């Protein structure tokens, strides 16, 4: 399902049309140079038929809440079996990170 049809529907509702028709959606899409695909448009209209926009948004939020969204990074790598045991951490050297250039050095700032 292409989101442009849903977005056009939402724009129509936000514009004051509580129940946009397929022609309203086509008009919005054509105003930005998009030709509406009748099959996709019909599917969107069927899915949204008889529902208030608040109801649709609430359903969408419930669905998004159940989607995993990244988070807790992976576990640290386990040390290889055998080897020198405790000597490995001492052998690691802390790499110094180069300092990043500030905006002032580049001749501009965020709020200039």
The answer, yes or no, to whether residue 109 has pLDDT greater than 60, is: no
Query: Residue 25 class from Cβ within 10 Å (0-12 exposed, 13-18 middle, 19+ buried)?
Result: buried
97 CB-side CA count, 13 A: 3
CA 15 – CA 108 distance, rounded (Å): 40
Cβ atoms within 10 Å, residue 20:
20
Reported as a single tens digit per residue, the pLDDT across 51-95 is 888 888 888 888 888 888 776 655 555 656 655 555 555 555 556
Q: What is the pTM of this model?
A: 0.55
pLDDT tens digits for range 10-58? 999 999 998 899 999 999 999 999 999 999 999 989 988 888 888 888 8
Confidence of residue 4 (pLDDT cuts 50, 70, 90): very high
Rounded CA-CA distance 11/5 in Å is 10
């Amino acid at each position: 399902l292409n989101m442009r049809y849903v977005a056009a529907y939402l724009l129509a509702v936000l514009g004051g049309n509580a129940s946009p028709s397929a022609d309203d959606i086509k008009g919005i899409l054509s105003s930005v140079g998009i030709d509406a695909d009748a099959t996709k448009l019909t599917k969107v209209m069927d899915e949204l038929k008889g529902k208030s926009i608040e109801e649709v948004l609430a359903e969408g939020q419930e669905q998004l809440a159940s989607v995993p969204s990244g988070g807790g990074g992976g576990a640290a790598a386990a040390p290889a079996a055998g080897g020198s045991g405790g000597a490995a951490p001492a052998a690691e050297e802390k790499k110094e990170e180069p300092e990043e250039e500030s905006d002032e050095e580049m001749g501009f700032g965020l709020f200039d």
